[in-house]
């Protein structure tokens, strides 16, 4: 059994301090049996950063149904969903890449997301966290769950990012039928490839909370190191698995080659909205 006090000790050992702004991606089951469940994990985080700090969590959602900030559940775990339901939580308005936040900078971080040109680009909560000197914590999940990676792809205007029309969220004016996602990031990427580069630059603190492996990193350093790699090789996150339709398609885009979509027919799942098999 893992207690709140033990979790607070672990957070301190990983450099999470009073006044910090921390974007958390999490898996409750990875920790083991937690006394107090998801609420205890949230309390441990909030008490560690104190009244001066802010905890932010991605509350990402699908896009098949209209997004309702009050009713649409987070699709990224029990801790995230429990967090967004708190009475003191602010949730940003974006139909796919919303976040919830509690703390001193919560209102600032979440305000205006619906006005941003893209979900993870300039003006979004992810950039605001960077500009405020915030951190990212991966609690029992790996780099492939780090939403900041999409910000890096947007920064280089990766060719494989999509424009996609989805049902309009409920916060838009009545009668609006669709919402256009720009630089939407579908498909597979090898975001885990960044981890050893962060280690080499001492930009990653690793530890454990219960059974969960935890990674903590400074968002500005993630931007600095990630963009160095992407500007040298814009396909840095694209895998070399010949059976990966998405990454094969992404490479063809950078070769300015004609894309024969029939190559992918019958070789993937039947879900047209699948993020892994999606190609245009």
193 and 264 fall within a common domain: no
**pLDDT greater than 90 at residue 276:** no
Q: How far is the C-alpha of 36 from the C-alpha of 45, rounded, in Å?
A: 13
Cβ atoms of 118 and 182 within 8 Å: the answer is yes
Residues 155 and 74 in one domain: yes
Rounded to a whole number, what is the largest CA-CA distance in the chain?
58
* Helix and strand totals (H; E) in the chain: 10, 9
Bridge partners, residue 99, by sequence: 58
Residue 209: pLDDT band with limits 50, 70, 90: very high
Residues 42 and 147 in one domain: yes
Rg value, the chain, Cα: 19
Residues 70 and 188 placed together within one structural domain of the fold: yes
For the chain, list the strands marked E by DSSP: 21-26, 54-58, 90-91, 99-103, 135-139, 162-167, 178-184, 205-209, 212-218
135 and 25, same structural domain?
A: yes
The answer on 273 and 182 residing in a single domain is: no
Count of domains for the chain: 2
What tokens does 158 get?
A: 């990766």
- The parent domain of residue 250 ranges over 239-280
- DSSP of 207-275: EEETTEEEEEEEHHHHHHHHHHHHHH-TTTT----TT-HHHHHHHHHHTT----GGGGTTSS-S-TT-T
Task: Check pLDDT > 90 for residue 244.
Answer: no
244 and 190, same structural domain?
A: no
Nearest of 220, 212, 224, 49 to residue 145 by alpha carbon: 212
Give me 128's structure tokens: 């605001």
- Beta strands 54-58 and 90-91: pairing type? unpaired
Q: Are residues 148 and 280 in the same domain?
A: no
Indicate if 77 and 163 belong to the same structural domain.
Answer: yes
Q: Are residues 45 and 13 in the same domain?
A: yes
The per-residue pLDDT for range 29-84, each reduced to its tens digit, is 999 999 999 999 999 999 999 999 999 999 999 999 999 999 999 999 999 999 99
* One domain for residues 112 and 180: yes
Examine the domain organization and report whether 162 and 142 are in the same domain.
yes
Predicted confidence at residue 236, as pLDDT, reads: 97
| Tens of pLDDT, residues 78-113 | 999 999 999 999 999 999 999 999 999 999 999 999
Closest-CA residue to 32 (of 2, 67, 62): 2
- 182 closest CA partner among 134, 123, 107: 123
For 128-184, what is each residue's pLDDT tens digit?
Answer: 999 999 999 999 999 999 999 999 999 999 999 989 999 999 999 999 999 999 999
Give residues with Cβ within 8 angstroms of 210, minimum separation 6: 2, 6, 7, 10, 30, 31, 32, 34
The structure tokens listed for 99 are: 């976040």
């Amino acid at each position: 059994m893992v207690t709140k006090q033990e979790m607070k000790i672990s957070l301190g050992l990983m450099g999470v301090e009073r006044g910090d702004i921390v974007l958390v991606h999490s898996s409750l089951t990875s920790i083991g049996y937690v006394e107090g469940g998801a609420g205890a994990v949230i309390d441990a985080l909030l008490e560690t950063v104190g009244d001066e700090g802010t905890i932010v969590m991605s509350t990402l959602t699908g896009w098949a149904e209209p997004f309702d900030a009050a009713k649409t559940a987070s699709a990224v775990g029990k801790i995230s969903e429990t967090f967004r339901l708190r009475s003191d939580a602010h949730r940003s308005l974006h139909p796919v890449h919303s976040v919830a936040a509690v703390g001193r900078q919560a209102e600032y971080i979440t305000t205006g997301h619906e006005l941003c040109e893209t979900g993870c680009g300039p003006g979004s909560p992810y950039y605001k966290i960077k500009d405020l000197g915030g951190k990212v914590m991966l609690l029992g999940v790996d780099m492939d769950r780090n939403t900041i990676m999409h910000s890096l792809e947007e920064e280089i205007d990766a060719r494989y990012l999509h424009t996609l029309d989805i049902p309009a969220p409920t916060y838009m004016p009545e009668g609006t039928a669709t919402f256009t996602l720009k630089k939407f990031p579908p498909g597979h990427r090898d975001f885990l490839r960044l981890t050893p580069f962060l280690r080499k630059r001492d930009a990653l603190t690793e530890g454990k909370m219960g059974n969960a492996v935890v990674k903590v990193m400074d968002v500005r350093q993630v931007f600095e190191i990630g963009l160095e790699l992407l500007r040298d090789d814009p396909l840095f996150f694209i895998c070399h698995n010949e059976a990966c339709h998405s990454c094969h398609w992404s490479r063809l885009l950078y070769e300015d080659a004609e894309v024969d979509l029939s190559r992918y027919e019958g070789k993937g799942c039947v879900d047209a909205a699948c993020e892994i098999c999606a190609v245009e």
